[in-house]
Amino acid sequence: MSRARFLGTGFAVPDRVVTNDDLSALMDTSDEWIRTRTGIQERRWVREGETGAGLADQAARRALEAAGLEPGELDAIVYATSTPDHFAPGNGVYLQRLLGVGGIPSIDIRNQCSGFIYALSVADAFIRCGQFRRVLVVGAELQSTGMDVSTRGRNTAVIFADGAGAVVLGPGNDERGLLAFDLHGDGTYAEKLWVDAPGSMYHPRVSHEQIEAGRHFLDMDGKEVFRHAVARMPESVLAVLAATGQTPADLRLLVAHQANLRITEMIQRTLQLRDDQVYNNIMRYGNTTAASIPIALDECVRAGRVRAGDLVALTAFGSGFLWGSALVRW
């Protein structure tokens, strides 16, 4: 069995920058509140007509270029998003169409902020068992189109944003690659961070009443999510390290889901990591859900913060609740 290795990374974000002051013009909030409570200074939101699959296409092409591969050399796509362009089909086939690689399998993962970690684990399993060799793994979101930009929605609208990240995985022939996964879920908390409608349990799937009540917007109990996030992510990082007989001191880099700068700082303190062992870019992109880890990873790779042989941990927590980590020998 061959361990799955990262062959290339890439990301894409919309060119429309939305600052905290831009949001203050729409709702009762302030640059000071957003910076101190979340660390976010600006984020990217799509313009009308841009799609999640379109952003994923740009990110995927950059990852393929970094890997030195053509789209036609891919064997499968695993696409994580909680915000598909349509209710059905999922975004994987739209990306496939844009890449011009009809015929290969495409799998959609609906695991929100943890979607990229889960998608990696699926791709890793395919590669290890020899079913597919080169797998494109994408985390992409368009959150801005599901935000309530009035004061009613301010606890989510200032946080969530748009973007796409992609990696190409392939079989390795040495010790480098994905070493361990730790995956969890607890549906007890499903309604703590969710989008109620549209839903197939409703006839029709979305009604005027639901829209008036704002039940089609992302809804979050921020304090409850925060409380669990700061406990579960460090636990999960320690689990993947323990599975391979290592400790936080062995990490070159931790890339945590960019949910809130305060959350990442608490994870850093719990794991007793130095500043140079932790990467944050939430200041510039906000919380891009399934896209945040692959976006951060690509920035680290291109800036030389991750080099061959480095030990890297990826961790996420979010809606579900779902959480988990991956440990990589880069």
Give residue 6's Cα distance to chain centre. 16
- Nearest distance from C-beta of residue 154 to ligand UT7, angstroms: 4
Contact flag: residue 158 with ligand UT7 (CB under 6 A): yes
Residue (260 or 277) nearer to ligand UT7, CB: 260
Taking CB atoms, the residue at the shortest distance from ligand UT7 is 222
> Which positions ≥6 away from 158 have C-beta within 8 Å?
20, 23, 29, 33, 34, 38, 40, 286
Helix (H) or strand (E) holding 294: helix 292-302
Tokens 């979607």 belong to 115
Indicate whether 37 belongs to the interface with ligand UT7 (CB under 6 A): yes
CB of 60 to ligand UT7, least distance (A): 23
3-state helix/strand/coil string of 218-270: CEECHHHHHHHHHHHHHHHHHHHHHHCCCCHHHCCEEEECCCCHHHHHHHHHH
Element (H, E) at 66: helix 52-67
Q: Are 116 and 53 in contact (CB under 8 A)?
A: no
Residues 213-242 that bind ligand UT7 (CB under 6 A): 222-223, 225-226, 229
Sign of CA dihedral 98, 104, 109, 113: negative
From the list 20, 111, 260, 287, the catalytic residue is 287
Q: 99-128 mask for ligand UT7 (x: CB under 6 A)?
A: --------------x---------------
Is the N-terminal amide bond of 89 cis, ω within 30° of 0?
A: yes
Residues 241-270 that bind ligand UT7 (CB under 6 A): 259-260, 263
Which lies closer to ligand UT7 via its Cβ, residue 33 or residue 210? Answer: 33
Q: Is 287 a catalytic residue?
A: yes
Q: Which of 111, 113, 260, 300 is catalytic?
A: 113
- The catalytically annotated residue of 91, 111, 257, 300 is 257
Least distance between ligand UT7 and beta carbon 103 (Å) = 35
Q: Which among 30-38, 119-127, 242-250, 293-301 is the span making contact with ligand UT7, rule CB under 6 A?
A: 30-38
* Residue 93 to residue 61: CA distance in whole angstroms: 16
Known catalytic membership, residue 300: no
Residues that bind ligand UT7 (CB under 6 A): 29, 33, 37-38, 113, 154-155, 158, 193, 222-223, 225-226, 229, 259-260, 263, 287, 318
